[in-house]
């Protein structure tokens, strides 16, 4: 990594500062600016990440090299050349400088006299990455792409405030630490603090959702319902969330979440899935795969419409041969048909990552649904999935 720095500089020198709107000093975004909300708004969640977990103290001591190793990403467009000209990826001071520039994707902090005094997280932490155009982990933002390198459990487990969080959950600090440390990169359990089971799911994309009626792997509700749940109960946002089914009625005034939801939803709906790279699949095989997908292989019985999902219809674990626990833990008890556009971009597959490749997905269905597809038919369907 150290050797890359000389190579990084010239590229960074030309990118300069991005012009996108960023609220000053952790202030809220404009309620009409969905992109700003998605990228930069913490909704007041410093009450969790600073006041309780003290993530800012950890960030103060992390070199960019270590930060990149837990999957954090640097928005190269937010970094002025003079800062990068003196950047040392082994020096924690560089991390502090990057945070002061709001250049660490999904983290927002206040830096006073070289010290991070407040730090919060944004939606972009888990649902954005960068295009690595400058170096691994450093480049232009890719909003909506799941950050499968990010290890949220490990990051929380590193915080000095973990015992306070454990106390709130009524588990021992060592049990909390063991659970969080077991999740691994690209995974998070958004129900751990409700039922204390530890069964993380993959961080899903936040693109391609415009025509999808229900969100999450288990279809718990429309996008704004889930956004409010995540913001208030997971990110620690300062706002309101009520769901009688979950026996939750959280009220914190001023509510920094609810006024943001319409623009945040519209922004997510505006993010299209990425097209497959040119030459990344065999078009002739994909055409054969499409016919199988819509016919003999029965995929289109559930993967229907422009987004390839029949939501709001839901399915039992047994129907598709899934592990049952995620459905059991959810208020719906079922699985939503995952939309498939952009699937090429985010292996592994299924909510638990049990299929490493798209071919493994097809093999799974071939067995569970007793499709009796030949090897070349399975390969053709996988090529079709790569083309979506
Ligand atoms: C700590 C990581 C993390 C953060 C931060 C986070 N999410 Fe998520 N998000 C997840 C996980 C994990 C899931 C899957 C949950 C499930 O299916 O039960 C998810 C699911 C979603 C989905 C559903 C996707 C689908 O295919 O249905 C949307 C939409 C979403 N998040 C948007 C947001 C927004 C908006 C924010 C900010 C308010 C946010 N997320 C913050 C981890 C995160
Ligand atoms: C009975 C309905 C049903 C049928 C039939 C079906 N699927 Fe699915 N599919 C689902 C559901 C539900 C999920 C979500 C499973 C999970 O992750 O828990 C899913 C998930 C997937 C995923 C994972 C996407 C991701 O991002 O993780 C792929 C790929 C997929 N299906 C492809 C196919 C193919 C190919 C076929 C035909 C061979 C098929 N499906 C048949 C309902 C169905």
Pocket of ligand 2 (CB under 6 A): 217, 293, 297-299, 301-303, 315, 319-320, 322, 335-338, 340, 343, 349-351, 358, 361-362, 365, 381, 385
Nearest alpha carbon, ligand 1 atom 37? 123
Give the rounded percent of residues in the chain with a pLDDT score beyond 90: 90
- Asked if 6 and 84 touch (Cβ cutoff 8 Å), the reply is no
Mean pLDDT of the region 29-47: 96
Give the rounded percent of residues in the chain with a pLDDT score beyond 70: 92
Residue 127 Cβ inside 6 Å of ligand 1? The answer reads: yes
365 Cα: distance to centroid of ligand 1 (angstroms): 26
Nearest alpha carbon, ligand 1 atom 41? 123
Residue 223 Cβ inside 6 Å of ligand 1? The answer reads: yes
* pLDDT of 15 strictly over 50: no
Cα distance between residue 21 and residue 24, in whole Å: 9
> Residues with Cβ < 8 Å from 312, sequence gap 6 or more?
213, 214, 219
pLDDT tens track for 197-233? 999 999 999 999 999 999 999 999 999 999 999 999 9
- From 291, 292, 296, 365, the mutation candidate for ligand 2 (largest count of ligand atoms within 8 A of CB) is 365
Map tokens 């400088």 to a residue. 97
Residue 89 Cβ inside 6 Å of ligand 1? The answer reads: no
How large is the C-alpha radius of gyration of the chain?
A: 21
Nearest alpha carbon, ligand 1 atom 6? 123
Q: How far is CA 24 from CA 42, 68, 115, 160, 377, in A?
A: 12, 25, 17, 27, 55
Nearest alpha carbon, ligand 2 atom 15? 350
Tokens encoding 333: 């008890």
pLDDT tens track for 371-382? 999 999 999 999
Nearest alpha carbon, ligand 2 atom 26? 349
Q: Is the dihedral of CA 234, 236, 240, 244 positive or negative?
A: positive
Residue 217 Cβ inside 6 Å of ligand 1? The answer reads: yes
Mean pLDDT of the region 17-32: 71
Q: How far is CA 107 from the centre of its chain?
A: 13
Map tokens 């071919």 to a residue. 359
Cα distance between residue 313 and residue 34, in whole Å: 28
> Residues with Cβ < 8 Å from 124, sequence gap 6 or more?
38, 39, 40, 105, 106, 141, 143
What is the band of 86 on the pLDDT scale with cuts at 50, 70, 90? confident
Residue 13 Cβ inside 6 Å of ligand 1? The answer reads: no
Confidence (pLDDT) at 22? 67
């Amino acid at each position: 990594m150290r050797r890359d720095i000389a190579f990084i500089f010239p590229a960074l020198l030309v990118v300069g500062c991005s012009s996108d709107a960023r609220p000053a000093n952790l202030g809220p975004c404009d309620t009409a600016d969905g992109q700003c909300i998605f990228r930069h708004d913490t909704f007041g969640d410093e009450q969790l990440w600073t006041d309780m977990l003290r993530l800012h103290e950890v960030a103060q001591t992390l070199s960019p090299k270590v930060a990149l190793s837990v999957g954090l990403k640097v928005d190269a467009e937010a970094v002025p050349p003079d800062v990068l000209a003196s950047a040392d990826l082994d020096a924690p001071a560089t991390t502090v400088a990057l945070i002061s520039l709001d250049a660490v994707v999904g983290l927002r902090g206040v830096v006073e006299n070289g010290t991070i005094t407040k730090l919060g997280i944004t939606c972009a932490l888990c649902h954005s990455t960068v295009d690595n155009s400058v170096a691994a982990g450093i480049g232009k933002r890719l909003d909506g792409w799941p950050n499968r390198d990010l290890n949220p459990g490990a990051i929380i487990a590193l915080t000095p405030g973990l015992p306070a969080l454990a106390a709130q959950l009524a588990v021992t600090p060592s049990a909390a630490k063991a659970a969080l440390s077991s999740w691994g990169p690209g995974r998070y359990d958004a129900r751990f603090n409700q039922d204390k089971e530890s069964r993380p799911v993959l961080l899903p994309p936040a693109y391609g959702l415009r025509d999808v009626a229900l969100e999450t792997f288990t279809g718990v509700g429309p996008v704004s319902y889930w956004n409010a749940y995540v913001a208030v109960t997971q990110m620690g946002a300062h706002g309101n969330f009520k769901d009688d089914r979950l026996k939750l009625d959280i009220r914190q005034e001023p509510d920094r979440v609810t006024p943001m939801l319409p623009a945040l939803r519209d922004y997510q709906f505006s993010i299209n899935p990425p097209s497959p790279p040119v030459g990344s699949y065999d078009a002739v095989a994909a055409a054969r795969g499409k016919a199988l997908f819509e016919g003999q292989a029965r995929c289109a019985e559930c993967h229907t419409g422009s987004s390839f999902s029949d939501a709001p219809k839901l399915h039992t674990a047994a129907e598709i041969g899934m592990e049952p626990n995620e459905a059991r833990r959810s208020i719906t008890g079922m699985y939503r048909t995952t939309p498939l556009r952009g699937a090429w971009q985010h292996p592994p597959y299924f909510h638990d990552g049990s299929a490493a490749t798209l071919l493994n997905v097809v093999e799974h269905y071939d067995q569970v649904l007793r499709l009796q597809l030949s090897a070349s038919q399975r390969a053709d369907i996988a090529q079709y999935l790569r083309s979506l």
